Amino acid sequence: MAIFDKTNAESPASSETTIIASGAKIDGIFNCASRLHVDGEVTGEVHSKSIVTIGKAGKINGSITANRLIVNGLFEGNANCDGVEVLAGGKFLGKVVSKELMIEAKAEFEGESKIKRDNEAPKMTTKPVTKV
């Protein structure tokens, strides 16, 4: 059929990729349901329900909330993702809250990491035992 066929108007977001090309600069809040590949520069907030990849020439300065973050360029800020990978040549400066953090050899990570838990049990409070 033609490319304008409306029967398949909503394709799954996992098969789509939004690309911020080299030389492009975005400042502000960026929301997307699809994969995001950054070869340009983004300053601000990035919210994705999929995978955010920072290419070798890419830079993100701000915060990221995504399913997965792959850093091959430069990331400075706070990331809240289920999985974070810093590839060889990638640089992560900041804080990460993630279920899974992978840092390859020759990658740079400078900052703080915390484990993200889905069903964290309530913290038990204990009182000191006093003898009578």
Q: pLDDT tens track of the chain, all 132 residues? A: 445 544 444 444 557 899 999 999 999 999 999 999 999 999 999 999 999 999 999 999 999 999 999 999 999 999 999 999 999 999 999 999 999 999 999 999 999 999 988 764 444 444 444 555
Sign of CA dihedral 97, 24, 48, 106: negative
> Structure tokens of 94?
């900041």
Hey, is 129 helix, strand or coil? coil
Q: Is the pTM of this model over 0.75?
A: yes
> Structure tokens of 2?
């033609």
Q: Where are the alpha helices (DSSP H) in the chain?
A: none
- Structural domain spans, the chain: 15-115
**CA nearest 77: which of 49, 99, 96, 102?**
96
Tokens 């740079």 sit on residue: 108
Contact status, residue 54 vs residue 36, Cβ threshold 8 Å = no
- DSSP code of residue 116: -
Taking the mean position of all CA atoms in its chain, how far away is CA 14? 15
